[in-house]
Amino acid sequence: MFKRDARVVVAGAGPVGSFAAYLLAQAGYEVIVLEAAATCLEDMRASTFHPPTLEMMDEIGIASDLIERGLKAPVYQYRDRRSGEHYEFDFAELAGDTKYPFRLQCEQFKMAGLLAEKMEAHPLADIRFRNRVVSFSQDDEGVTVNVETPYAVETLRADYLIAADGANSIIRKWLGVEFEGFTYPEKFLTLSTTTPVQDYFENLSYVNYVADPEEWVVLLKVPSVWRVLVPSKGMSDEELLSDENKVKVFDRLLGAGEGASVKTNHRTIYNVHQRVAEKFDHGRVLLVGDAAHLNNPLGGFGMNSGIHDAECLGNALIDIFKGRGDARSKLAAFDRERRAITHEFIQRQTIRNKKMMEANSADAQKAYAEELKAIQQDPQKRREFLLNQSMINNVRLKQAAE
C-alpha cells in the first residue's frame, strides 16, 4: 500500500493549474502544486479575462481581488489602420447576461501570483516552486509522481494528477498523446511600452484590433504597460528583436520619426499554433490548459478556455470525492465536453479572428469592414457577436450539453 500525500497533484502553477488547485483546496481537498520555475513567471502573454472566467473567479472568491489589479474594458474596437475608421463593440450590452459585462485587462502573472499567495496561506494547499515533474505512473488506486527538487528526486502519491504544465507538457509527451493541428508559418512579436500610445489615436480603447493589408496590429492596455502584438514572416529572431525593427513597428503605428524614442519593457517572440490533444482524459492523469490545447491569441481565448477546463475538471473531481456519481463517467464527460468546446468554439473562432485581421488586399479589407459594420448596425447580429466574443455562448454550449 502506498501512503497518499494529497488527493490531487497539479503539475504547473500557471493560471490554469493554480485555478484547479485552489478550487480543490477551497472545496476541502488536499492538493500539492509542483512548479518547475522559482516563481510565477512574469511573462507578457494573456492579458484578457472574459466575463464567464470572472464568474468562475467569483466561485472561488478571488474575482474582486483580481478586478482590483486590472482595468475594466467594456468597449473594444476594430480599427482600419489606413482609413482610421473604427467599429466599437460594448460588453455593457450584455449586462443582463453576466455579472461582469466587461473584459478585465490584467497581466496573467498577477492572477497566478494572487493564487500562489492564497495557496501559501491555505491549510490544504501546498505550492512547491523549483519542483519539476519528471515522470509518473498510474495504477488502479492512484498516481505516483517523480519530482526533481533542488535537493533530491522525490516521489509523491495522489489519487489524480492534473497536467497543467503548459504547451510543451512533458506529461502529454510521456502519455504519447497526439497533439493534432498545425503551426502557423509566421511568428508573433509582442512589445510592451509605457509610452502613452493612447495620445496618438483618437478615442482608443484598452483593447484594439487594427487591420492593415501589410501588417495588422493588436493594441492592448494592461495596468503596467501598452502591449503591441504584430505578426512576422521571414525575419530571424535576432532581426525581430532588434532596435531597428522596434523603430519600424512604432514608426508605422505612431507616425514616422516616433519609433526611435519609444522604450520597450519586453520584446518577446511566440510561435503560434492551433492544436488539440486527441484526448484530455487518461485515467488518473488529466490534461488541461495549454497542455491540452493551443490557439492563436486573437480574441484572448487561450488562458480563458484553460481556466474553463480547470473549473470543469475541478468540479468533476469534487463530485467523485463526494461520491456523487461514477468516477469514470464523470471524467469521460469532462473530456467530451471540453474537447467539443475546444474544437467547435475556440479553434473555429480563433482561426476566423485571425483570417479577418490578415485580409491582405484592399478588397478583402473592405469586405472585412463591411462585415463588421453590418454586425454593428444590426442589434440581433451584434448581440450574437458579443455573446461569442465574450465567451458567454461558449459556456451556454456547455450548459446545453448538460
Ligand X SMILES: Cc1cc2nc3c(=O)[nH]c(=O)nc-3n(C[C@H](O)[C@H](O)[C@H](O)COP(=O)(O)OP(=O)(O)OC[C@H]3O[C@@H](n4cnc5c(N)ncnc54)[C@H](O)[C@@H]3O)c2cc1C
**Interface residue list for ligand X (CB under 6 A):** 11-17, 34-37, 41, 45-48, 108, 132-133, 164-166, 170, 188, 190, 229, 270, 289-290, 297, 300-304, 306
Asked if residues 47 and 227 have their Cβ atoms less than 8 Å apart, the reply is: yes
Is the Cβ of residue 164 or residue 318 nearer to ligand X in the bound state?
164
Q: Give the DSSP H/E element, type plus range, for residue 89.
A: strand 86-90
Is the Cβ of residue 270 or residue 321 nearer to ligand X in the bound state?
270
Is the Cβ of residue 45 or residue 330 nearer to ligand X in the bound state?
45
Range list of β-strands (E), 278-344: 281-282, 285-287, 293-294
Residue 13 CA to residue 115 CA, distance in Å, equals 9
> Minimum distance between the CB of residue 13 and ligand X, rounded to whole angstroms?
6
Is the Cβ of residue 184 or residue 364 nearer to ligand X in the bound state?
184
> Minimum distance between the CB of residue 92 and ligand X, rounded to whole angstroms?
20
User: Among 388, 400, 300, which Cα is nearest to 345's?
Assistant: 388
> Minimum distance between the CB of residue 142 and ligand X, rounded to whole angstroms?
19
Is the Cβ of residue 59 or residue 258 nearer to ligand X in the bound state?
59
C-alpha cell at 360: 491582405
Q: Give the DSSP H/E element, type plus range, for residue 317.
A: helix 302-321
Residue 387 CA to residue 93 CA, distance in Å, equals 10
> Minimum distance between the CB of residue 364 and ligand X, rounded to whole angstroms?
24
The overall longest dimension of the chain from CA atoms, in Å, is 71
> Minimum distance between the CB of residue 315 and ligand X, rounded to whole angstroms?
18
Is the Cβ of residue 54 or residue 369 nearer to ligand X in the bound state?
54
All residues at 6 or more sequence positions from 67 whose CB lies less than 8 Å from its CB, including other chains: 54, 104
With b meaning 16 or more CB within 10 Å and e meaning fewer, what string describes 183-209?
eeeebbbbbbbebebeeebeebbbbbb
Query: What are residue 121's phi and psi, to 5 degrees?
Result: -95, 0
CA atoms within 13 A on the CB side of 377: 6
C-alpha cell at 303: 488562458
Asked if residues 47 and 208 have their Cβ atoms less than 8 Å apart, the reply is: no
Is the Cβ of residue 7 or residue 227 nearer to ligand X in the bound state?
227
> Minimum distance between the CB of residue 382 and ligand X, rounded to whole angstroms?
22
Is the Cβ of residue 168 or residue 236 nearer to ligand X in the bound state?
168
CA 352 to chain centre: 17
Asked if residues 176 and 277 have their Cβ atoms less than 8 Å apart, the reply is: no
> Minimum distance between the CB of residue 306 and ligand X, rounded to whole angstroms?
4
> Minimum distance between the CB of residue 270 and ligand X, rounded to whole angstroms?
4
Is the Cβ of residue 96 or residue 150 nearer to ligand X in the bound state?
150
> Minimum distance between the CB of residue 178 and ligand X, rounded to whole angstroms?
19
> Minimum distance between the CB of residue 198 and ligand X, rounded to whole angstroms?
19
All residues at 6 or more sequence positions from 276 whose CB lies less than 8 Å from its CB, including other chains: 179, 180, 181, 292, 293, 339, 342, 343, 347
Is the Cβ of residue 338 or residue 369 nearer to ligand X in the bound state?
338
